[in-house]
Copies of this chain bind each other. A is one copy, B any other.
Amino acid sequence: MKDQGRAKRGIPPKSEFNSWYPAIVEIADLVDKRYPIKGMDVWKPYGWKTMSLIDSITRSEMERTDHLEYRFPLLVPEDLLEKENRLVAKLKAARDAGVDPSELRIGEEDAGFKKEVYWVKHGGENKLDVPMFLRPTSETPMYNMFSLWVRSHADLPLKTYQIVNTFRYETKQTRSFIRVREIHFFEAHTVHKDEETATKQIEEDASIVQNILNKLCLPNIISKRPLWDTFPGAWYTTAADVIMPNGRTLQVATYHHYRDQWAKSFDLSYEDENGDNQFCHQTTFGMSERLLGAIVGLHGDDSGLILPPAVSPIQVVIMPIATHISDDVLVYSNKIKKDLEECGIRTKIDDRNIRPGNKHYHWEIKGVPIRLEIGPKDISKEQCIISLRTGGKEILPLTDLPSSILSSLDIISEILGKRANASYREMVSQLPNSTISDGTLTFKEPLNEGIVYEFPFDGNDADAEILEKTSGLTLLGECEESYKEPRPCIMTGKLTTKKQHLAKMY
């Protein structure tokens, strides 16, 4: 019966994740993908509201940690980019000259993003004197202004953020929320007086990320990215990845310690307490609509979305039940709605004159955490019936209903977290045993793209390259969590507590 309902609504089973995901984002009315530019979806109200609630959590974390919200222009003149390109060229030259890469830590890619940006070269019928591009991220426009704003140690730390649209000329296949060309993006950029205070900022970023992912019930892997995956110009990059049901990892947050590398390029310096000029140290921290992609992917089931209560646009949907919905039932429904809303619970009454089964399906697909039914009999018994989207029904007395509902919402968050953790544990396996001879690595059993492999690793870049080439998977980098007992590194055999993961990344 249930399967028939699902099929009727056009939802593939979640076990076929690569069909389920693109179908559910449209069936649940988060986005419409029919806009005539690939990778630029229209956000429907339900999707946009959910994203806005995620943004609200981010904003309150930013406020708690004394970051201030700015809004920088979207367009960046090409000539500003030259500073960025000079930085990358300089760092590359230093490395080519044999400077120890662990000291330098710069990325391989072209920081200029030149190949990945959309260009604006015409205004009306005029060719512009200086071409401009649509920001892929805002280092260049921001640091240009920071160097005007920072004069003395009293101006530091400068803690800024913005939530904006960014753009990438994406040539790979696009996927809603995961790989798009107009990106709903959060970016924090901070400026500090020295390496140590910038390092403290990275620690704060780490705690902010965990606070947010915890509210979204998303277990994650924290890794220090390998050198070649480090953000251009960064000293090191830390990333949070979640594991999607198909075993692919999705990077949902990154934070970068820049030391004073960008500052030197942008003349970003300050006068210290002794009147000496010092270069600033900087960090950045980014997240995006991928957070919503992770929520959809990790929590949904065969029947549709399941939204974590913290970001569900509707936390309780009240369904008045009666052959003909009586005034009395509606009066009660409105009273319940009012009581719940006074306690900050987002509530909606669905009094449409359609079959209860259809209403049920509708809100199930949309992942509303609690459905609340009330009919004439319930009123006489001073009770109502709630169904949790995670499963189970309960009869609740109407007295003190808001606090019962709040507990139920907490229980749903807890269940989502536990389920996601259980699935996480299922998806992560030990890397199969392997042998190395003449630099050739051979696994004793074939690897599976649907699995994230963990293993002790203490090798060098060459070892890492062999691992990636042989497995066809990507290294996430040194995991923040290490083994409790030392184990032999799979490449060098040396005992180590350092952990790494190999996975197919989105």
Tell me the A residues contacting B by CB distance below 8 Å: 32, 34-37, 40-45, 48-49, 52, 68-75, 77, 79-80, 114-126, 132, 134, 141, 144-145, 148-149, 165, 167, 169, 171, 182, 184
Q: How many copies does the complex hold?
A: 2
Known contacts A114-B124, A119-B120; is A145 also within 8 Å of B37 by CB?
A: no
Known contacts A36-B80, A45-B68, A73-B182; is A124 also within 8 Å of B116 by CB?
A: yes
- Which chain B residues lie closer than 8 Å to A43 at the CB level? 70-72
- The complex places the Cα of A141 from the Cα of B115 at a distance, in Å, of 27
- The complex places the Cα of A76 from the Cα of B116 at a distance, in Å, of 19
- Which chain B residues lie closer than 8 Å to A77 at the CB level? 36-37
The answer to whether A42 and B145 have CB atoms under 8 Å apart is yes
The answer to whether A40 and B75 have CB atoms under 8 Å apart is yes
- The complex places the Cα of A32 from the Cα of B79 at a distance, in Å, of 20
Task: Determine how close the nearest CB of chain B comes to the CB of A266; give it in whole angstroms.
Answer: 13
The answer to whether B71 and A48 have CB atoms under 8 Å apart is yes
The answer to whether B32 and A124 have CB atoms under 8 Å apart is no
- Which chain B residues lie closer than 8 Å to A119 at the CB level? 120-123
- Which chain B residues lie closer than 8 Å to A120 at the CB level? 118-120, 134
Name which residue of chain B comes closest to A123, CB basis. B169
**24 A-B contacts (beta carbon < 8 Å):** A32-B148, A35-B144, A35-B145, A36-B77, A36-B79, A36-B80, A37-B132, A40-B73, A41-B73, A42-B70, A43-B72, A48-B69, A48-B70, A48-B71, A52-B69, A74-B74, A75-B118, A115-B124, A117-B123, A117-B124, A118-B120, A119-B120, A119-B121, A165-B165
The answer to whether A42 and B73 have CB atoms under 8 Å apart is yes
- The complex places the Cα of A134 from the Cα of B123 at a distance, in Å, of 10
The answer to whether A148 and B34 have CB atoms under 8 Å apart is yes
- The complex places the Cα of A149 from the Cα of B69 at a distance, in Å, of 35
Task: Determine how close the nearest CB of chain B comes to the CB of A22; give it in whole angstroms.
Answer: 18
The answer to whether B124 and A121 have CB atoms under 8 Å apart is no
- Which chain B residues lie closer than 8 Å to A40 at the CB level? 73-75
Top 10 closest A-B pairs, CB basis? A123-B169, A43-B71, A40-B73, A45-B68, A119-B122, A115-B124, A124-B169, A118-B120, A48-B71, A118-B123
Known contacts A37-B132, A144-B36, A165-B165; is A74 also within 8 Å of B182 by CB?
A: yes
- The complex places the Cα of A117 from the Cα of B119 at a distance, in Å, of 14
The residue in A42, A69, A121 that gathers the most chain B C-beta atoms within 10 A of its C-beta is A42
- The complex places the Cα of A165 from the Cα of B72 at a distance, in Å, of 11
Name which residue of chain B comes closest to A71, CB basis. B43
Task: Determine how close the nearest CB of chain B comes to the CB of A220; give it in whole angstroms.
Answer: 26
- The complex places the Cα of A77 from the Cα of B39 at a distance, in Å, of 13
Name which residue of chain B comes closest to A48, CB basis. B71
Name which residue of chain B comes closest to A141, CB basis. B35
- Which chain B residues lie closer than 8 Å to A69 at the CB level? 45, 48-49, 52
- The complex places the Cα of A149 from the Cα of B307 at a distance, in Å, of 25
Given A37-B77, A42-B70, A124-B171, 13 more pairs with CB closer than 8 A = A34-B148, A35-B144, A35-B145, A36-B77, A42-B71, A42-B73, A42-B145, A48-B69, A49-B69, A74-B167, A116-B124, A119-B120, A120-B134
- Which chain B residues lie closer than 8 Å to A171 at the CB level? 124
The answer to whether A75 and B121 have CB atoms under 8 Å apart is no
Task: Determine how close the nearest CB of chain B comes to the CB of A191; give it in whole angstroms.
Answer: 15
- Which chain B residues lie closer than 8 Å to A182 at the CB level? 73-75
- The complex places the Cα of A171 from the Cα of B126 at a distance, in Å, of 11
The answer to whether B145 and A32 have CB atoms under 8 Å apart is yes
Name which residue of chain B comes closest to A161, CB basis. B45
- The complex places the Cα of A75 from the Cα of B79 at a distance, in Å, of 23
The answer to whether A34 and B145 have CB atoms under 8 Å apart is yes
Task: Determine how close the nearest CB of chain B comes to the CB of A64; give it in whole angstroms.
Answer: 15
Name which residue of chain B comes closest to A125, CB basis. B115
The answer to whether B124 and A73 have CB atoms under 8 Å apart is no
Task: Determine how close the nearest CB of chain B comes to the CB of A97; give it in whole angstroms.
Answer: 29
